[in-house]
Amino acid sequence: MHSTIIIAFGLALLALMLFIGQQLGFSPQTLTYSFIVLWLALTTINGAIGVMVAGHSVIHELMVGFMVFAVPVAALVLFMTMSNT
What are the pLDDT digits (tens) for 29-76?
A: 999 999 999 999 999 999 999 999 999 999 999 999 999 999 999 999
Q: Which residues of 57-70 are buried (b: 16+ CB within 10 A; e: fewer)?
A: eeeebeebbeebbe
pLDDT of residue 84: 77
Instruction: Judge whether residue 3 has pLDDT over 60.
Output: yes
Burial of 39 (0-12, 13-18, 19+ CB in 10 A): buried
Q: Which residues contact 26 (CB under 8 A, 6 or more apart)?
A: 34
Q: Domain of residue 27: give its range.
A: 2-83
Domain tally for the chain? 1
